[in-house]
Structure 1
Amino acid sequence: MHHIPRLSEAVYVGMCRYVGSPTEVRIRREVTDTEEVMNRPVWITRGLDRMKSGSHREGLRLPTSDRDFMFWLPDHKVICDVSQISLYLIPQHTVILMECEDLTPGFARLKIMTPSEDQKVKSSCVPTDGGI
């Protein structure tokens, strides 16, 4: 009797042909990691830290994929719990609390806990009932 592949196997094979094998995707991730380690000193001297994100960072090279980057100020620290504020030196660090409760999955609310001297950060902030 002729074996008919299961749909999941056919999808897997098709995806491997389209985006690459798991090994190719892993190598792309490792190359991206290496590039970022090598380029980090250049970005830090410009006063920023940077990393790729999104599907490109995950090793997927789809024709319609864009390239996503995250930039941040190295002296701005994001914490997930208010108790972590004691880990940083104030005023040398601007501390930002990331809140995820009562929000759509994949979204976060950022709350400035200590003042920022950066004009772009200041202009991006809005007052709310619970802070800025």
Structure 2
Amino acid sequence: MRNIASLTTLLIVSLGFSQDKYQVSIDLTKAKNDKVPVEISVPKTDQEEIEYHMPKIVPGTYSISDFGRFVVGFKALDKNGDQLEFEKISTNRWLIKNAALLDKITYRIEDSFDNFSGYGKNKLEVYHKV
């Protein structure tokens, strides 16, 4: 019993030393014009620059999706809400400068359900007559 209490205490104390985590907020009730706001709180870093990536390919889909093409209004913000300098270096990548000041990343995601042009043909339709 004493060992369990000691182990539980150690576990609770060690949680206080855990690393910062990413926190993502997606509020579907604030969607406007088929765009959903996304807010990502990021852990602190001592790096001068960092890259933010969106997936190009999702395993199992067998097609290039380039999800970064759905991102609108990308912003990198410090804790005061001031915008940090960034550069979009490809469809799916953003280089954020002064990353040590970065507090959160915000953007809106466009509706992708009415735009299937980047997903290739439906495999069912290609291999079977529907």
TM bucket (normalised to shorter chain) is under 0.3
What TM-score comes out, normalization by structure 2 length?
A: 0.26
Instruction: From the two aligned structures, give the one with the greater strand fraction.
Output: 2
Structure showing the higher helix proportion among its residues:
1
